Amino acid sequence: MRMGDKSEIIHHLLKLVPESSSATSCDMSMQYIIDGGSLLHKLSWPKKASYSEICEMYVRHIKQSYCHALVVFDGYHGFSTKDEAHRRRMGNALGATVLVSPEVHVTMTKKSFFANPSNKQAFISLLAEQMTKADIAVEHAKGDADYKICMSACLHAKEKPTAVVAEDSDVFQLLTHHANIADKDLYMVTSKQTVRVTTLAKKLDPLLSGALLFLHAFNGGDTTSRPYGIGKVSVLKKYAELERCSSIFMSPSSSKAEIERAGEDALLIIYYGCTTSLSLDSARVDKFQQKVGTAT
């Protein structure tokens, strides 16, 4: 599967609205929504530490860094559409399934431990229990946590300034798409930068922010392959031409036939610049003949 560079979208949007990039850090007292998946990888694990000691490290980090925090964890149980993405990220580092309890000590690297889904979910359960005892709010998503993180942040932003702490560009795009410009300030905080999402949402063309999720999925993500020879920025720049296709994809009332036709039209737009009377199959033949005719 051809992977798209998801970070290209963030860089392009920040170029369009450079004032959305904040040079100052967020106030510790605001509401923080923390991506539990990113949090797991943030801290280094001491060798031969017990799982209880490791959990205490995370609890101490949250307590010292944020006054008001909600931690949202993934909730994968069994097979999911993200399995291939998880395998790709972890490579061949899969560790054996082990007993995860407070008094047991770690016997493998953190990467190998988390590459095993059973280990990861067992540790999340133990960590969530320890966080709850320390009065840290915890929620579990059914599957991928990105959407739940976004919706929780938008809900809190109705009442007070809110910051999402995450590294995933999918979260950034969800926030940009769903942010309400009438709410309080909403931020995205990564290890490299802080973005004021409300400023971004106010300045972007509503057609672009409305089509953002379609444009991202259409041009390659964790579960979709990138069209050959097409980058994410080139697709973003054609958001106006793709508006009709996007609206069909985003509408829950669209039929299967309508979605299939809209998908073909979208491919014709990004490869030819506009829809034609040709079908996608005919357009492929035409493109092949052009390449053959100009070959040396």
Query: Which domains does the chain show, CATH number per domain?
Result: 18-203 (3.40.50.1010), 206-294 (no CATH)
- pTM for the full model? 0.84
The pLDDT of residue 231: 76
Strands 68-73, 137-140: parallel, antiparallel or unpaired by DSSP?
A: parallel
Q: Tell me how far CA of residue 190 lies from CA of 22, 25, 34, 155, 198, in angstroms.
A: 12, 11, 11, 20, 16
49 pLDDT above the threshold of 90? yes
- Cβ(157)–Cβ(28) under 8 Å? no
Q: Which two tokens stand for residue 157?
A: 């932003």
The pLDDT of residue 151: 96
The pLDDT of residue 276: 61
Binning pLDDT at 50, 70 and 90, where does residue 272 land? Answer: confident
Gyration radius from the chain CA atoms: 22
- Cβ(137)–Cβ(67) under 8 Å? no
- Cβ(145)–Cβ(13) under 8 Å? no
The DSSP annotation for 265-276 comes to: HHHHHHHHSS--
How far is it, in rounded angstroms, from Cα 24 to Cα 189? 11
Binning pLDDT at 50, 70 and 90, where does residue 23 land? Answer: low
How far is it, in rounded angstroms, from Cα 161 to Cα 152? 13
